[in-house]
Structure 1
Amino acid sequence: MGPVGPVGPVGRDGVASGIGVGELDLDGLGGDVLSLTPAPGGPPLRPGEVYVLVRLRGRPVGTVLGRVGEDADMAQALAAAAREQLAGFLSGAPPGPVRARADKEAAGGGAVRPGADTEGPACGGGSGAGVPRVSVVVATRERTGQLARALDSLLGQDHPGHEILVVDNNPATDRTRALVERRYASHGVRYVVEPVPGLAAARNRGVAAARGEILAFTDDDVIADRRWLTSLVAPFADDPRLGCVTGLILPARLATPAQILLESHGGFTKGFAPRHFDPHRPPPGEPLFPFTAGRFGSGANMAFRADALRAVGGFDPATGTGTPARGGDDLYAFARVVVAGHRLRYTPEALVWHHHRESWRDLEEQAYGYGAGLTAYLAALIGRRPALVPALLARVPHGLAHALAISAHRTAGEQAVPGEHGARTHPWPRSLSRLERRGMLYGPLGYLRARRLVRGHRPPWEAAR
């Protein structure tokens, strides 16, 4: 299948393009509109289809997609949709249907994804006592435009004190170094080079160079919400057994069919209710725990207790983007920390806006990489911890069913936002399902190839001893 063009009325698979993305803040569900703004770094909102993060006095609670007419008051129309769809969820009753009407004249349909199937108390901050030192690690390679946008958002954090490290992975030019030295070194941003190709190796270099008790990781293609770091780090102060915290990832733009299709079938979002994962109390309904590490979160928004991450050897350098394994470095770290006995927490208040890949070719590569990264991570976990083989074998039947389910052809109605709205359908193409499954078959082989390339490589903090 060839690439989809940039922005047009409808893409190749019936996917409309050009959905506006914004934030709607309400003074309580029944209260006034406090603000309606475009997503950070995004274009102004215009009539048509609009996808918004709904906040209640700043707290993220759900997403709504609506079609707003030319003559409608956009803020009031989207607020009405939010009240209709979130009322049941926030009152404890089952959420309403996925279709939403912004108002009788202006909204053609929409959906909300409030994440009501999870457990745990409402997510607040930590106690605030003894705020730990934090290092933020951003691995990058030859993407200075995106990196600058990410660093600007990190410098605007409301966290009382943190350092930022840029890890330049196997650089081909000196552009990243020049950017950091010219624009960001005066703000305390540190520049580090990792010559070994691969995201995991780059992150390990950041782990070695970091000075913080907590190590936060994000990517160069995100914009961090102002309270991202405070919300991501606060839970560590309240729970000494907590080893890892992950957060919410939303799309910064939905401008092309590929971006819309990815988000309509899940994207990176893990819902709007906090969750706890405890190795001593496996979550109900999770027969593959802890091997379904993708449910914990994603590498663009994660933090670890530094001692816990270093104790398990950090990230496996034979995984991740930039290696033959294609991915899986974040999944490996999540599972290793949990297997070592630490708790993990997902908190939706720690928000970053992610710039999804734009072209159809990008989406094809992403589908293949997801499949490869999943099985590469499992190969890495078993290769590094052979004692887990019996537990993994016991879960093989469930694992096969899970793998087939996550890579299956999906119709539009099986996902919420923004999959089904109006009269259009956004099915997940069979071609992408096939690519995911091919990636799964390739993943262990890719990992073995990558492991040969890094044979003898030790984590930088160990090699320095």
Structure 2
Amino acid sequence: MSLPAPRPLSVAELDLDAPDGPVLDFRPAPGGPAVVPGDVYALVRLRGRPAATVVGTFAEGEDPAEVLAGLARRRLRATEDLEGKEGAKGSSAERLAAERSGEAPHPQAATSAPPRASVVVASRERPESLARALDSLLAQDHPDHELIVVDNAPRTTATHALVTRGYAGRVRYVREDTPGLAVAHNTGLAAAEGAVVAFTDDDVIADPHWLTALTGPFAADPGLGCVTGLILPARLSTPAQVLLESHGGFAKGFAPRLYDPARPPADEPLFPFTAGSFGSGANMAFRAGALRAAGGFDPATGTGTAAKGGDDLYAFVAVLAAGFRLRYTAEALVWHHHRDSWQDLRNQAYGYGAGLTAYLTATLVRSPRLLPALLARLPRGLAYARTMTAQRGGAGGGVPGEHGTHHHPWPRELSRLERRGMLYGPIGYAKARARMATRTTSRTALQATPGAPTQATTEAPTRAATGAPTRAVTGAPGQATAEAPAQAPAPAPDTVAAPARRRGRNPR
């Protein structure tokens, strides 16, 4: 099977004064190369706020800003017309422009400063990528936050050296020896001191306003448990990157959305069991108390375990099941460096399928009383899964995709891999739980052995949700290491309002 070869695109930002106003700024995406003649993927901002994406082509001698501005104005007018037909009270573009100019209050505006926040970045042997992410996180306009790097199952000292030498006094280092993204996130949650804990990946560049936009809604809504944000591609340089973004990437659109378990959304008949429409793990924040009350992340899910993924989806549903609300806002923006090879895309397709059913399995294992609700929705969910993968595997066309990229045929091989992953997910989750139990037994036996070797650093052996051991070694750079007791998540609540389908063609 040969990979379709869509052309690479430059990635840029275009800022307009108003839906039909002049261009305020045009620049390449953060950390990206210069914009060159050819196809360009652009984020359209209205006075700084994300509003849409467009794809355009400009030739040598043309002004790319004006070419893309014309496309952006037509896109925004089309959005206004659509919302007018649906009876919306003012278009998105009009609301954004009014909010930015101060003519109307922003619906998520907090009446006070955003709460103190902790930003957790789990990483493993990617110091160059991590440094790029940390530089962007240190440039945030949030007034009160800390940065924590969790070094997950390190094979070398590269991450430790980067954080403790290159970012001394500015970033906290925590080591977690048990592999798995969910375990690393639980370790970061245990070490976090903020009222809100934000999570992102080591392959992103965060917009300077990201953390303020992500955490501000918590100050305005005491019942809010989670906020997710917009994820856009930092580069579209390879066919694999373009193909992924053409079929949704990680973006969830530009319209704000509130998910309330007390008022299940009418257009989400599976709410909340297929939680991919809520957001993604590279851009999410939780009220610390809500996430801890909901049991944290299930350590047998996530990248680095046999389950392959699903840790973020599990946490979304757990928080909603505990009665908290979840909000999506496009103003909290990160630029994500998609994996660039065909094999990476194959792995992602399989992993997304596995993570989906693994997290559903985890939800039922942790909250078996949810089984009747899930079974009632299972036929509809299976039909949706078949439709979703069939649509991606169809013939495709040449029309723009939902988020502005050109639509390219989704290879049937990837659809088959995703379905195979769905079948594997429950098995992978069972394997991951078994391995966690084995590690717990081994560690307990070692600790009970007289004369067992001690570690040079302070260790905090703990048990996570499935009894998995964790070891956290923390310390502000330049200080002695200190014990960091890991959170011991409680079982997830047994109540649920309902489950959300994966919107559009997004792979998560």
What are the ranges of 5 or more consecutive residues in structure 1 without an aligned counterpart? Answer: 3-11, 96-112
What is the identity, as a one-letter code, of the residue corresponding to 1:381?
A: T
Does the 8 A contact of 2:261 with 2:321 survive in 1? yes
What are the ranges of 5 or more consecutive residues in structure 2 without an aligned counterpart? Answer: 87-91, 96-103, 441-462, 466-484, 490-508
Residues 253-272 of structure 1 aligned to structure 2 (within 5 Å) = 253-272=235-254
> How much does 1:315 deviate?
0.3
For residues 136-186 of structure 1, give each alpha carbon's deviation from its aligned partner in whole angstroms, at most 9, with x where no partner exists.
000000000100000000000000010000000000000000000111123
Aligned equivalent of 1:410 = 394
Aligned equivalent of 2:472 = none
What is the identity, as a one-letter code, of the residue corresponding to 2:275?
A: A
Bigger drift between 350-359 and 122-131 goes to 122-131
Does the 8 A contact of 1:54 with 1:60 survive in 2? yes
Aligned equivalent of 1:242 = 224
> How much does 1:126 deviate?
2.7
State the TM-score, normalized to the length of structure 1: 0.88
1:39 aligns with 2:29: yes
Q: Distance in 1 between matches of 2:66 and 2:116?
A: 42
| Aligned equivalent of 1:27, options 9, 14, 17 | 17
1:182 aligns with 2:165: yes
Residues 26-425 of structure 1 aligned to structure 2 (within 5 Å) = 26-90=16-80, 92-93=83-84, 125-186=108-169, 188-408=170-390, 409-413=393-397, 415-420=401-406
What is the identity, as a one-letter code, of the residue corresponding to 1:54?
A: V
| SS of structure 1 residue aligned to 2:168 | helix
1:433 aligns with 2:415: yes
Would the alpha carbon gap of residues 236 and 446 (structure 1) be closer, same or farther in structure 2, given more than 3 Å must change? Answer: same
Q: Distance in 1 between matches of 2:273 and 2:251?
A: 19
What is the identity, as a one-letter code, of the residue corresponding to 1:360?
A: W
Q: Distance in 2 between matches of 1:43 and 1:267?
A: 20
What is the identity, as a one-letter code, of the residue corresponding to 1:297?
A: G
Would the alpha carbon gap of residues 368 and 122 (structure 1) be closer, same or farther in structure 2, given more than 3 Å must change? Answer: farther
Q: Distance in 2 between matches of 1:463 and 1:369?
A: 27
What is the identity, as a one-letter code, of the residue corresponding to 1:50?
A: V
Q: Distance in 1 between matches of 2:106 and 2:79?
A: 16
Bigger drift between 382-391 and 121-130 goes to 121-130
Runs of 4+ in 1 over 4 A off after TM superposition: 121-125
Aligned equivalent of 1:5 = none
> How much does 1:453 deviate?
1.2
Q: Distance in 1 between matches of 2:395 and 2:85?
A: 23
Give the alignment's Cα RMSD to 1 decimal. Answer: 2.0
> How much does 1:405 deviate?
2.2
Percent of residue pairs bearing the same amino acid type: 63
Between the two proteins, the alignment pairs up a number of residues equal to 427
Does the 8 A contact of 1:246 with 1:346 survive in 2? yes
State the TM-score, normalized to the length of structure 2: 0.81
Bigger drift between 71-80 and 126-135 goes to 126-135
> How much does 1:292 deviate?
1.6
What is the identity, as a one-letter code, of the residue corresponding to 1:136?
A: V
Q: Distance in 2 between matches of 1:204 and 1:354?
A: 23
Q: Distance in 2 between matches of 1:341 and 1:37?
A: 42
Q: Distance in 2 between matches of 1:36 and 1:236?
A: 32
For residues 92-124 of structure 1, give each alpha carbon's deviation from its aligned partner in whole angstroms, at most 9, with x where no partner exists.
3369xxxxxxxxxxxxxxxxx99x9xxxx9955
| SS of structure 2 residue aligned to 1:234 | helix
Q: Distance in 2 between matches of 1:336 and 1:155?
A: 30
> How much does 1:75 deviate?
0.7
Does the 8 A contact of 2:251 with 2:403 survive in 1? no
Does the 8 A contact of 2:43 with 2:54 survive in 1? yes
Does the 8 A contact of 1:263 with 1:418 survive in 2? no
> How much does 1:90 deviate?
3.7
Does the 8 A contact of 1:275 with 1:346 survive in 2? yes
Does the 8 A contact of 2:232 with 2:334 survive in 1? yes
**Which of 1 and 2 has greater Rg?**
2
| SS of structure 1 residue aligned to 2:374 | helix
Q: Distance in 1 between matches of 2:415 and 2:381?
A: 17
Does the 8 A contact of 1:126 with 1:236 survive in 2? no
What is the identity, as a one-letter code, of the residue corresponding to 2:18?
A: G
Q: Distance in 1 between matches of 2:33 and 2:85?
A: 35
Aligned equivalent of 2:464 = 458
